[in-house]
Amino acid sequence: MGEFEFSRHAFKRAVERNISEIEIRAAGAHARIIEDYPDDKYSPSCLLLGFTEQRRPLHLQVSCADSALVKIITLYEPDSNKWIDSSRRR
């Protein structure tokens, strides 16, 4: 994922959900797109699935339309009640 910036919302969520920058970088390094949102409200975005060094799954919704940097819109650990193997919605 390289260089990135947080939206205000994503920074707040990272703090609330105890997701560190190290975890974000690790998850983003080998993340794959699991959903694409070309018509998202503000700019095209996509949902990435990546894993931390400890194999913690993370979803990162990102956009790169407005900047040279990837912008993290939101991030969270997928809920197993809503996701099958962290990549497919139930």
- Give the domain extent around 74: 4-79
Mean per-residue pLDDT, 30-53? 94
Indicate the number of domains in the chain. Answer: 1
The pTM score is 0.91
Do the domain assignments include residue 63? yes
**Rg (Cα) of the chain, in Å, rounded?**
12
Do the domain assignments include residue 62? yes
The tens digit of pLDDT for each residue in 9-35 reads 999 999 999 999 999 999 999 999 999
Do the domain assignments include residue 75? yes
Do the domain assignments include residue 85? no
- For residue 1, is pLDDT > 80? no
> DSSP secondary structure string, 31-49?
-EEEEEETT-SSS-EEEEE
Provide the residue type at 76 as one letter: Y
Do the domain assignments include residue 90? no
Query: What pLDDT sits at residue 10?
Result: 95
Do the domain assignments include residue 87? no
